[in-house]
Amino acid sequence: MLTDLSKALLQRRAAGLYRTRTISDGPQSTRMTIDGETFLAFCSNDYLALANDPELLAAASLGLERYGIGAGASHLINGHSQAHHELEKALADFTRFPRTLLFSTGYMANMAVATALLGRHDAIFADRFNHASLNDAALLSQASLRRYHHLDLDHLESQLTQTPAKCKLVMTDAVFSMDGDCAPIGDLLVLCQRFGAWLLVDDAHGFGVLGEQGRGSLFQTHFPENHVPHLIYMATLGKAAGVAGAFVAAQTEVIETLIQQGRTYGYTTASPPLLAHTLLTSLQIIAQQSWRREQLVRLIERLRQGLVSLPWQLLPSTTAIQPLLVRDNEQALQLSAALRERGIWVPAIRPPTVPKGTARLRITLSAAHTLAEIDQLTLTLRDLKNTL
């Protein structure tokens, strides 16, 4: 058995797909110590530069003093603290949904939605570029899984037309984590309403960054405060919000069903209450400090201007995720390594995270980056185009 594993690992390495872990020392920042060296980093999902914000550090200290470290039990025993309760109410107000429910991770949140609402005789329809957590949730639900072409609503409509399933769920990323493009949520809502289907929107990379006051992708355009009943919204709290965890926002009946039947909710220890306490401050900063999002917009525009006419294709993203398409696995690794030699950390992303033949550098921006740091990256890439 070990011999078989060794052969499989060697094959993965030969294909340029072998992953290794690096060790960072210190807080998230645009300048990070990784494996003992300091780099200018473009690899974090800390979009609003909150992961080491002094206000959040102070809130965490107060939360630690009040609640200790561990929750000690699941939410359904005695692990549901006042901090968890207040955060759920604050998130419901912020996203303008009737109720929200906290989860330890976005992976667990998506698992709970799919498995609690659907079963063997139901059907799930998923964008082909969805995050792995949505795909795994669909498989675990035992519902029939049908994947539609990326952002192709005509293909989705034809699938919805053909299904005999009574209970249907369409699931999509709001901002796709590897391409940085956005789902047409308004059109998806209309389509799901026509066919009596649930719509699960995973806004891991939009919450805090997009929409009015950072309320998320739903609020990029006018969105009704009385949400349509078939919409289920999931967002994570470890990216733009700077801490950890996730939440599901939906109608009261959906949230109560997740409490009763969501296995990843009921059968795990609640997240540390000090994190929920910290997130209350994070939510206030997201709503009040619009300069962070404004800075991101400036950085995105500067980066895209600087990467014009490179041999590698910059995908059409207006978000903090800016993928540079290299295509070949080894070339993507070589380009990433060449940047590291020059003190810049940008990860190479390869299959199966992205489709075969679409290996890339995934450049992610933070409000803490400066225009000068953006220029340093673009000038270095322009220099490298003649050497690789």
Look at residue 45 in the predicted model and tell me its pLDDT: 96
The pLDDT value given to residue 225: 57
> Would you say 353 is a known binding-site residue?
yes
Which of 174, 175, 131, 130 shows the shortest CA–CA distance to 317? 175
Q: How confident is the model at residue 309 (pLDDT cuts 50, 70, 90)?
A: confident
Q: Is 168 a catalytic residue?
A: no
CATH fold for the domain made of 54-288: Aspartate Aminotransferase; domain 2 (3.40.640)
Work out the average pLDDT over 26-35.
Answer: 93
Length of the chain: 388
- Please check if 236 is assigned to a binding site: yes
The pLDDT assigned to 223 comes to: 67
Whether 107 has a binding-site annotation, put simply, is yes
DSSP sequence for 222-243? ---SS--TTEEEEEESSSTTSS
314 token code pair: 């910059």
17 falls in which pLDDT band (50, 70, 90)? confident
Among candidate residues 44, 177, 271, 336, the one labeled active-site is: 177
- C-alpha–C-alpha distance, residues 95 and 255, integer Å: 15
Active site residue 336: no
Is 131 flagged in the annotation as binding? yes
CATH of 17-46+290-384, one of 3.30.390.50, 3.40.1000.10, 3.40.50.150, 3.90.1150.10: 3.90.1150.10
pLDDT digit string (tens) for 258-282? 999 999 999 999 999 999 999 999 9
List all residues 6 or more positions away from 292 whose beta carbon is below 8 Å from its beta carbon.
48, 49, 285, 367
Find the catalytic residue in 80, 84, 168, 205: 205
Q: Which of 245, 259, 276 is nearest to 112 (CA)?
A: 259
3-state DSSP assignment of residue 170: strand
Q: What does the pLDDT read at residue 385? A: 87
Q: Which DSSP string corresponds to 184-204?
A: -HHHHHHHHHHHT-EEEEE-T
Residue 191 and residue 156 in contact, taking contact as beta carbons nearer than 8 Å: yes
Topology alike, domains 17-46+290-384 and 54-288: no
Verify whether residue 205 is a known catalytic residue: yes
> Do residues 286 and 213 touch, judged by C-beta distance below 8 A?
yes
CB-based contacts of 5: which residues, under 8 Å, 6+ apart? none
250 contact partners, CB below 8 Å, separation of at least 6: 97, 98, 99, 100, 231, 232, 233
Helix, strand, coil share of the chain (percent; to 5): 40, 20, 40
Identity at 328, one-letter amino acid code: D
The pLDDT tens digits for 107-141 are 999 999 999 999 999 999 999 999 999 999 999 99
**23: buried, middle or exposed (CB in 10 Å: 19+, 13-18, 0-12)?**
exposed
CA separation for the pair 202, 212 (Å, rounded): 18
- Residue 344's φ and ψ, nearest 5 degrees, are -125, 130
Domain positions in the chain: 17-46+290-384, 54-288
